[in-house]
Structures are given as structure tokens and as C-alpha cells.
Amino acid sequence: MAAARKRKHNLVIVESPAKVKTIKKFLGSNYDVAASYGHVRDLPKSRMGIDVDHDYEPKYITIRGKGELLAELRKKVKKADRIYLATDPDREGEAISWHLVAALRLDEMKDKEVYRITFNEITKKAVTESLKNPRSIDTNLVDAQQTRRILDRVVGYKISPLLWAKVKRGLSAGRVQSVALRMIGDREEEISAFIPQEYWTLDALLTADGSAEPFTVHYYGRTSQDAKPVKQELENEAEVKEITEALREAHFEVAEVKKSERSRKSPLPFTTSTLQQEASRSLNFSTQKTMRVAQQLYEGVEIKGSGTVALITYLRTDSTRVSDEAQAMAADYIADHYGEEYLLVREKNGKNEGKIQDAHEAIRPTDLGNLPSVIKDSLSRDQYRLYNLIWKRFLASRMSAARYENTQVRIAADQSYIFTASTSRLLFDGYQCVYNQEENEDKGEKLSVNLSRESVLSLERFDPRQHFTQPAPHYTEASLVKALEEQGIGRPSTYAPTITTILARHYIVKEDKNLYMTELGEVVNSMMKRAFPSIVDPAFTAQLEGLLDGVAEGSVKWKTVIENFYPDLDEAVSQAEADLEKVKIADEETEEVCENCGRKMVIKYGPHGKFLACPGFPECHNTKPYYEKIGVACPKCGKDIVVRKTKKGRKYYGCMGNPECDFMSWQKPSDKKCPRCGKMMLEKGNKLVCEDRECGYMENKPEE
């Protein structure tokens, strides 16, 4: 009898140790699973690591502390006949596999079979299917990731020393983070320059057919000569009074009752961006927290009675595509639990635009049978809340639209003035039986009466109200991610790290979800805009992202991108060095005298902005807060108004006499008093505006 064929020994290398246990249970005894713990090689920290004189070749080194890990992996490689590189299914994962080949010298081992495998979800079917369809490493994806890394390195390495020299050591200027910082700064400038405009609304409370319960209608406008309604914006109280006086004895009648049906489509399943936005809105999660918890759900959680189970698909994606198998799974679940009428009739994969990397699916549960309520006890509170959100969103995305009956009522007053009211009634809840987004709910008044052309109306009273236009809101983490995505800046893997970095550098602070620029952030942003306008230009950064996509697709050579980028950056840095030599940003001498040694103290920068320090350091360690006077006296106590910061670093204007005097203003006060009411005037862009909005007085700022 012939000897049995020797079974081949296989080694699967993944990134995260958390995946090892999950994957191991799917494979036989002839498979070993090990983790690389992320990257094993990178550019050196002590130097740029890019040979700009020799075709921009990167010089990679083993990451400190990874030597022992690589030695252990080499032992496992030696025992294996086949090596499967199963790092994450994105560009970074592809690059990690490429680095593993180099670090473990796999390309030199002619007796070993080396393959690349990917799976979008850590399930038995997905893992075993990937083993049946191995491939070689995609060098285009590797080149795209390598190009991103090199671009980020040369920007940081060339520009950061300028910040160290002119502001403080330890600062950084990243390619994407600098654009994000500029966007936050531009929004704050827009808010500061915003001039509120007065407008009014006019409601009328009517009763119908002798009913005691009034209902509200809203002023729309007047009837034109050809009997068509013309909308009228009410700009001031005088216009409102003119209308209410004219209609004091008016006859109100129902001119039109129009009914229509509309539908609200189910939402698309989550991408990385929309998951971060919705988790922020509904769960109050930061982008960093969302990604951390989603990573846990993707890698696997210990479920009672089932062992380690991966609950969601890959979390870094900008695709809304859903596999045929997942669609069938959802259709069966919906039909069984809700009925056929709740099934989405057409396939709904969404329109994935050109900039989207559609290699992955949307974020969804791996198995709808893992109901959040059933496995809740096996999850942490945060895991449960995020998984419940993903589970419901995916199920809803496969369900039919909600249908409403809309009723629009047009009411004529003395045949010349028009008021309107509208309401909607839910006819069929559709996807909303599972998932209902609060921000999309109808918030208008509901008519408490049924109106017809024969209804007899009586006026109870008018309800005029004054309003002022509002500026664009401050960015939140969620709205910044949305803006970055819409402008094509960064990719799913970069949103959370970008925001985390500029928060950690104290360039921005977060208060009540809103992001505010710190004093330090203002200095860095100002330097970047002045010295490197292209680096902080959103359009230029988006264009670079497009080139990186071209590299990934194989239509653009990666070195061409670097060759076109680096010389311009190098020239800009040289020019900036010359220009900034003329600008003293840090260590500016003041008239404040050190109490310990008598030297004049200088301005320095700390994590939260400016402070005063003795130039005699290290002999003298004296420091104290720096308060920038603006030359305006406090209206409450007469002391100087100075620039202050909240505990987190947000700038405002307060009294030098704080805490005894509690004066504060988010807008910069001026020394001019309002000629109409005598209150303080505030600077808003090129205008001076009375601090009392009801006064509403404003004038142009005098030219300096």
C-alpha cells in the first residue's frame, strides 16, 4: 500500500491578535494562525527616510520592538509549506503584507508557497472561501499606500521643523490634518464675520366651524394680479404691523385643500463616514471611539454558547454595495418577521461615485440571526449600542419606503393675503418600523381639524415673532467628517486619526460636540496658510487623493506623483524659511518683568497657547499666564478686557478682574458705544454690531 501523502502545513498571518482566536476555530489542525500586530516595517523616525536624490526610494527599517515578533514568525514560516498573508482588505493591509514578505524574506524561499488572501468578514464561509481563491500581492495597492506614506512623511518632515523654530517643539504639520485645521479655522472666521439679519414670521390662530380649539396657519404672501400666490419675506416689524392692521376685520376662507402621497426611501447601509456621523449624533461617540468599538465587533466578541463571533463586516469602507448573499439573508429575515410588503422591491446598492473604492461592502452584520437583544449580555454597553445601530440600519436599508399622506391647506384673507398650513399622516411605516432617524422626522404642527372649502373660519389672534438669521454652525466631529468626505479629502481610514491628531496637538478643542480653534491652532493655521497655501488648499489635497486612486488602479505611476509634488514643496519650504526669518512669532519680549530675576519676560507657547516665561531658564523657572490686552475697558468694572481661554482652550474675551468680575464675550468688544442704546459694540468682520440684538444697530468698522 502506498504511503499516505504528507499533509501540507499552512500558516495564516493576520494583523490583529484578536482575530487569531476567531479564525483558528474555522480551520483544521494543519493551519497555524499568527498576528503581525500591525505594521512591521516603516520609515525611520530620526530622519526623512526618502532618498530624494535617487529616484525617491524609501528606506524602510524594522519598527522598534518588532524584532522578537519577527523572529517568532520566522520560526513559524520555517515549519510551514504554505503562507497565507491575511492582513486587512484595504491598501494599508496590502502594504503590510508586502512588508511581511520583505521582513520575513518570503520571496527568497523557493520551497514555500506564499499567497495573499482577503475577506470582508471574519466568518467560516468567508475565510474558507478566501483560502480557495488566493492571489498574489497587488503591487498597485501597495504603491498607492506607499505614495500616501511618502507624501505625508515629506510634508511632516519638511514643514514641522519650521513650526518648532517659530512656535514650539513637538508640533506637527500633516498633509490632511493641516487641511482639516484650515477648514475649522475658515468656519470660525465665517461665524465671526457673520452679521445677523432681522426677519419676522406671522402666524394666525384660527378656529373652524365654531370649534373652541384653534389651529395655526402661517403667513405666505399675497395674491398677484393673475391670482397666483407670491411669497413675501417679512423683513421688519413695520411690514408685519401693516398686514395685521389690514386683516384685523378680514374674512378668512379655505381657498384650497390639496392631498398628495409621498414616500421616504429607506437609508443606505453604513459606510465608515456615515457610521461615524450617526454614532456621533445618536450615541454621542467620538470618531475615534466609533472606530475602536467597531474594530472589536469586526474582530470578534466572545458570545455565550457560541465562542468568539465576528459580528460585523470590515469597518473601513466608502462603498454602499451589499453582496447577493447578504441581500438574500435580509430578504428572508424581513419576509419572515415583517411580511412581504416590507421587502424592498428594487435592488438598492446606491450610486457609488468615481472617488469611491468599491472593493468592499457596506458595513453590515455578518449574520442577522445575531439579534442585538439576544447577545446583549455578551457585549459591553458601547459594543451593544453600536452593534444595535449597525444591525437596524442594515435591515432598514433592505426594507420598503415609508408612505405618507400630505395635506396642504391654502387660506385666503380678504382674497388678497395668503396663509398656509400643512400636515402629514403616516400610511405605511415601511423601514421606519425598524429604524427611524430623528433628524428626518416631520416636526411641523399637526392640524387638529379637518378642513374643506366649506369650513367657516374665525380669527382668534395673530402671533408675530422676530427672528435673526444664524451663521453656519461650528464643525462637530461628525460634520467635519462629512465635509472631508464631500470634498474628497482623506479616505475612510484617515478621518478618525486626522481629528484625533489635531485634538492631541491642542490645535483644536471640543466643547459640547463643537470643535473650536485654540490660540495655538490659530498660529499654526496662519503660518500654514501664509507659507504653504497649496498644502492647506482642500482642492489640491482632493486632487492628490484622486492621483492616489489612479496609482491604486494602475493608471498612474507612484513616482510620478512624488516627482511632481516634492520639488514644489522643497521650494516652498526654502521660501518660507526666508520669509519667516523676518517674522517673530515666539519668544517675543514683553514689558512684564520677572519678579525673581528682573529680566523682561518673553512669550512662549504651551499645549494650550501663550504663556510668559523668564528668558533666564534654566537658572530661573518663573512662568505665569499671559493675558493679551485689547485696549478696551470692561463695561462692568472698568478694568482691562483681555483675551482669555476656557479650561479646554477655546478663546473668549473676559475681564482682567475675573473671577470678581464675570464679564465675558465670544466676540471681540470695541471701545465704541452704540449711539442708539449706549451698550457695547462688538466686532463682526468689517462691521461693528450692538451687543443687544434687539437694538440691531450696526455700522462699518473704521479703517485702521
Through-space distance between the first and last CA atoms of the chain, rounded to whole angstroms: 102
Q: Is 389 within 8 Å of 396 (Cβ atoms)?
A: no
SS3 307: strand
- Kindly give the residue spans of alpha helices, DSSP state H, lying in 532-639: 538-553, 558-580
What string of H, E and C letters represents the secondary structure of 237-293? HHHHHHHHHHCCCCCEEEEEEEEEEEEECCCCCECHHHHHHHHHHHHCCCHHHHHHH
Could you tell me which residues come within 8 angstroms of residue 158 by beta carbon, excluding any fewer than 6 positions away? 48, 569, 570, 573
Ramachandran sector of residue 670 (left: φ over 0; alpha: ψ -120 to 50; beta: rest)? beta
| Residue with grid cell 466568518, as numbered in its chain | 123
Q: How far is CA 631 from the centre of its chain?
A: 38
Rounded-to-integer distance, Cα 678 and Cα 599, Å: 43
638: amino acid identity, one letter: G
Rounded-to-integer distance, Cα 284 and Cα 514, Å: 12
Strand partners, 473: none
| Residue with grid cell 527616510, as numbered in its chain | 49
Q: Is 473 within 8 Å of 516 (Cβ atoms)?
A: no
Ramachandran sector of residue 671 (left: φ over 0; alpha: ψ -120 to 50; beta: rest)? alpha
Could you tell me which residues come within 8 angstroms of residue 77 by beta carbon, excluding any fewer than 6 positions away? 11, 83, 104, 106, 109, 112
What are the angstrom distances between the C-alpha of 346 and each of 321, 340, 397, 475?
A: 14, 13, 11, 36
Q: Any catalytic annotation for residue 626? A: no
Strand 664-665, strand 669-673: pairing: unpaired
The C-alpha angle with vertex 423 and arms to 422 and 428, in degrees rounded to 5, equals 145
355: amino acid identity, one letter: K
Beta strands in 294-414 (DSSP E): 301-303, 307-309, 402-413
Could you tell me which residues come within 8 angstroms of residue 512 by beta carbon, excluding any fewer than 6 positions away? none
The DSSP secondary structure of 455-494, one letter per residue, reads: -BEEEEEEEEEEEE--PPPPPBHHHHHHHHHHTT-S-TTT
Rounded-to-integer distance, Cα 312 and Cα 488, Å: 26
Marked catalytic residue, from 60, 219, 314, 475:
314
Residue 567 cell numbers, joined? 520639488
- Residue from 294, 334, 371 nearest 121 by CA: 294
Rounded-to-integer distance, Cα 369 and Cα 366, Å: 9
Rounded-to-integer distance, Cα 279 and Cα 287, Å: 8
**DSSP 8-state assignment for residue 351:** -
Strand 82-85, strand 10-14: pairing: parallel
Maximum CA pair distance of the chain? 112
Which positions are catalytic?
A: 314
